[in-house]
Amino acid sequence: MFFERFLARRLFKSERGVRRVSRPAVVIAEAGVALGLAVMIVTICVSLGFKHEIRSKVIGFNSHIHVSSFDSSLSYETTPITICDTLTETLASMQGVSHLQRYATKPAIFRTDDEFLGFVLKGVGEEYDLSFFRSYLQEGSIDSLVVTGEESGVNLLISRDMADKLGYRVGDRVDTYFIGSSLRARRFTVCGIYETGFGDFDRLFAVTALTVVQRLNEWEEDEVTGLEVSLADYDELSQRAWEIGRYLDDWGKAHRTGFYVQTIEEQNPNLFAWLDILDMNVWIILLLMLLVAGFTVISGLLILILERTSFIGTLKAMGSLNSSIRQTFLRLAVFIIGRGMLWGNVIGLALCALQKYTGLVALDPKNYYLDRVPIEFNVFYIILLNVGMLVLSVAMLIVPSQIISRISPSKSIRFE
C-alpha cells in the first residue's frame, strides 16, 4: 500500500512542469472535475436558497399549521371558530409547537375617486408575530398596528402593490368598504407599506388589528377565523399536524364543534409541487455533471496508462502484480481528481458568496417570487457532495483500469 502511494505521488509530481502527451489530458480531466463540482455546488446552494426563501415567505403569511372552520377553504368570509384560553394553552404545550396566533379575515374593497381594488383584510391579535412583515417593511412603522384601546385598529398595513395601484402613501386616510348583509364603510390610516415579492399574497392581504375585523364580522372576543400554529422543526410538519388534528377532533366532539386542520403544504399544493420539480431538476444536473467529470477523468487515466506502457511493463517484469499497478494508477487518478475538486470548491463557493452578498443575478419577482437568485450554504451537503463525487468518480475508473492487466511485459519493453 505504501509502495503504490509512493509511486502515485512520484507520477503525479512528474506530470507538473514536464511536456508529455498526457499533460493536456490531465489538465482537461482536472478542469472537468472542477467545472462539474463548481456547477454542483452552485446548483445545491441555489436550490436550497429557493426552497428556504419561498417556504419562509409562505410560512410568514400562514405559519406551519392552519386551524379553521371547514368552510375556510371556500371563502375568506368564513364561519368563526371559538378559541378559548384552555384550548390555546393545551395546544401551546404540545411537543414541537413554538407559537400560536389568532387571526380573522374579511373581504373588502379599497375605493378612491377613480379606482376600486378588492383585497382581504386580515386582523391579527396582540400575540401575533409581526417579525415577518417587519422584515419586509419598506415605509412607515407597524409598532402601533395592534394597539389596544379606543384607537385600536385605525391603522392599516398595505402592500407596495396596493399602494402603487391606488397612489396611497404612509399617513394617508383610506376609505374601505365591506359588503355583507349591508354595505359598511370604515376609514383607516396607512401606517406602513410592505413588499415581500410574493405577488400572490402581496396583492391580497392588508393587515390591521384583530378587534376591528371581529367587530366588522359581529363576532365575540373569542371568535376568530383561524389559528396559526408555528413549529420548531419543519421536518416534523406531518407528525405534529396529525397530533394536533387528533386532539382537536376529540375536543370538537366534546364541545360539539368542528375544526379543519391543514398544513402549509396542503394549503399551497401547486407551490410545493413546483419546489418538488425543482428537486428533480437538481438531481438531473448533479447526474449530468458527475458523468461529465467522470468521463474526462476516465479519458485522462487511459491516456496516462497508454503513455506509461513501458513503465507498467517494467513493473510487471520486476514482479509487481496487476492489482498493485492498478492501485497505483487509481491513486494517481485520486490526486488528479483531488486537485480538480479543490479548484471546483474554490470556484463554486466564490460564485455563491458573490451572489449571496451582492445579489449580482437578479430575478423577476412576478415569475420567481424573488428579486434575486437566493443562496444558502449548507456545510453538510457540500461535504457530502465532495465525498460522493470522489467516491463515484473513483468507482467509475475501476473498470477502465482493467486495461493494465492486458499489457504484456515483453511486448511493452520491447516496443520501448
- pLDDT reported for residue 19: 47
Domain shared by 78 and 227, yes or no: yes
Domain shared by 22 and 85, yes or no: no
The upper half-sphere exposure of residue 266, i.e. CA atoms within 13 Å in the direction of its Cβ, equals 13
The string of pLDDT tens digits covering residues 70-110 is: 766 555 567 888 888 888 889 999 999 999 999 998 889 98
Residue where the block lists cell 368598504: 177
Domain shared by 40 and 88, yes or no: no
- pLDDT reported for residue 230: 93
pTM, whole model, 2 decimals? 0.77
Domain shared by 228 and 83, yes or no: yes
DSSP labels, 40-97: HHHHHHHHHHHHHHHHHHHHHHH-SEEEE-GGGGT-SS---EE--HHHHHHHHTSTTE
Residue 378, in any domain of the structure: yes
DSSP letter (8 states) at residue 148:
-
DSSP labels, 193-255: EE--S-HHHHTTEEEEEHHHHHHHHT--TTEESEEEEEES-GGGHHHHHHHHHHHHHHHHHHH
The last residue of one of the domains, among 177, 206, 232, is 232
- pLDDT reported for residue 300: 72
- In whole angstroms, give the CA distance from residue 16 to residue 24: 11
Please report, for the chain, how many H helices and E strands are present, in that order.
15, 12
- pLDDT reported for residue 16: 54
Domain hosting 8: range is 2-58+271-415
- pLDDT reported for residue 1: 54
CB 120 within 8 A of CB 162: no
The last residue of one of the domains, among 207, 232, 257, is 232
- pLDDT reported for residue 315: 61
How many domains would you assign to the chain? 2
> What residue ranges of the chain have pLDDT lower than 50?
17-19, 21, 150-152, 410, 415-416
Domain shared by 77 and 44, yes or no: no
The last residue of one of the domains, among 214, 232, 250, is 232
Q: Which residues face 186 on adjacent strands?
A: 176
Contacts 24+ apart (CB under 8 A), 108-117: 108/176, 108/177, 108/178, 108/206, 109/176, 109/177, 109/178, 109/179, 110/162, 110/166, 110/174, 110/175, 110/176, 111/175, 111/176, 111/177, 112/166, 112/167, 112/175, 115/165, 115/166, 117/162, 117/165, 117/166
